[in-house]
Structure 1
């Protein structure tokens, strides 16, 4: 069964328009989640809002949004007032500019969505937009109302389709100055830099998402299994992290370890190849 679309509208480039759907490209549905439990009864605990001053429970119909002023007062905003103030969605994902695919700092990336043609009638125009962007190696900056907010999205070709990533606004991304300003202006050269480059080169590879495990999820799942089985969970070995006092020595040890690992890997591969040749013979 096809995944349910979270948005339906029209993708437009000038007068070229096609109907499209957006589908969440990332999901947290498979993650382990916890409930809040009363240890004494084993029952789930329900949250309830109470008045911050008198501690009395507040009914759902009396809960509204409020904006705090510098003086500590609150401007009350009813749901209908908020809804009326939000820009109306014309369900149009309009390409406003095209830029190089790597022209946006990834710090601005928020959430990815798959963009798909909504029906067969949209397929030709959709393919034309996708292929033209692929040919020019560009991405499109588009705007639309998504979840009651005007959002900017970066739309890029993605395999047989396209992917749109919502972008953080400029005011939402912190400046790195306050974080990095205390870093000393040190520049390394000579043998130390050569060794570091060598280590990086020996570790070059490709990003394979399936190769990375969610260790937190695995650890929690194992803990739950152990509790259900009435056994004690495995004790984790503590990782020793010593302070590096001699950078050059640490680099040399790392380079030596990499060389040994590569040699062992090559020996194993040679052994497998020889065995395969013997079987083939």
Structure 2
């Protein structure tokens, strides 16, 4: 069954327009989910908002948004006042500029969406935009209202379609300098660095998302299955505690396990033949 579009509108580049649809590219809906039950009755429980002072339930029509001005002093915002601040969507994905695909730090990436033409007649314009971006190795920076918020969106070619990734705003991305401020500057010994480089080379590979399994989800599914079938739940085996060794010893041991030398210096990298020049 074809996926359901979460947004439909028009991709606009200068005077070129193309009707497009956005589809969720990543979802957590397949994860195991639980309901909260009353242990004594087995019935589901419901959440209820209560007044934190009186303890009495507050009906939906009496619930309003409030902003804390400080010291528990709130300014109340009525639903129509909140709605007035939400920008109207004109259903136009307006491209403001093009930039190299790798120019935006992926720390700004939020959620990805697949973009495809929403009507057969839009396919030609869509293909033209996609192939033009591929040829220039460019991404498009656009803006639109999606899910009642004005969002900046990065659009990149992806196979036969496009990927649109919503971007975090600058104020939403925390400072890396603050996070790394306590990391001391270290001088690394040559042998340790050579061993580390060797280990990295021996473990070089390519990214294959199918090779990464969600062990927690699989273990959780097995627990649920065991409960349904009336089997005894076997606790997960705890990993053995690691031995405390020096960093250099750990590097040498890792290099040896990967087929390297540990007699003092890291194994020298193998020389590879120079690439052949293409015939002109």
Say whether the fold is shared (TM-score over 0.5).
yes
Paired position in structure 2 for 1:120: 120
* Alignment partner of 1:257 is 2:280: no
Deviation at 1:241, TM superposition (A): 4.1
Residues 1:211 and 2:211 are matched in the alignment = yes
Partner of 1:59: 59
> Is 1:240 equivalent to 2:240 in the alignment?
yes
Instruction: Give, in angstroms, the shift of residue 71 of structure 1.
Output: 4.4
Question: Which residue of structure 1 lines up, in the alignment, with residue 152 of structure 2?
Answer: 152
Report the CA distance between 1:189 and its aligned residue: 4.1
Q: Which moved more, 1:107-116 or 1:237-246?
A: 237-246
Separation in structure 1 between the aligned mates of residue 62 and residue 20 of structure 2, nearest angstrom: 39
Q: Tell me which residue corresponds to 2:180.
A: 180
Superposition deviation, residue 132 in structure 1: 0.6
Q: Is the 8 A contact 1:244 1:250 kept in 2?
A: no
> What residue ranges of structure 1 are gaps of 5+ in the alignment?
261-281
Counterparts of 2:48 and 2:237 in 1: how far apart (Å)?
41
SS of match in other structure, 1:9: strand
**TM superposition outliers: structure 1 runs of 4+ over 6 Å:** none
Output the CA distance in 1 between the equivalents of 2:151 and 2:241: 44
* Structure 1 range deviating more: 113-122 or 62-71: 62-71
Per the alignment, residue 9 of structure 2 pairs with 9
Distance 2:163 2:187 in 1: 39
The CA deviation at 1:150 is 0.3
Per the TM alignment, residue 43 of structure 1 is displaced from its structure 2 partner at its CA by 0.5
Higher-helix-fraction structure:
1
Give yes or no for the alignment of 1:132 onto 2:132: yes
Aligned to 1:87: 87
CA offsets per residue over residues 76-132 of structure 1, 9 Å max, x none? 222222112211111110111111111111111110001110101111111111111
Paired position in structure 2 for 1:268 = none
The alignment status of 1:226 with 2:230, answered yes or no, reads no
Give the structure 2 partner of residue 199 of structure 1.
199
TM-score, structure 1 normalization = 0.89
Shift of 1:63: 1.1
> What is the CA–CA distance in structure 2 between the aligned matches of 1:101 and 1:114, rounded to whole Å?
16
Contact 1:109 / 1:166 at 8 angstroms: preserved in 2?
Answer: yes
Aligned to 1:271: none
Deviation at 1:245, TM superposition (A): 3.7
| TM-score, length of structure 2 as denominator length | 0.89
Residue in structure 2 matched with residue 25 of structure 1 by the alignment: 25
**Contact 1:117 1:123 (8 Å CA) reproduced:** yes
Find the aligned partners of 1:182 and 1:85 in 2 and give their Cα distance: 40
| Contact 1:108/1:167 (<8 A) preserved | yes
Task: Calculate the aligned-residue CA RMSD, in Å.
Answer: 1.4
Question: How many angstroms apart in 1 are the aligned matches of 2:193 and 2:45?
Answer: 57
CA distance in 2, matches of 1:165, 1:60: 35
> What's the counterpart of residue 267 of structure 1?
none
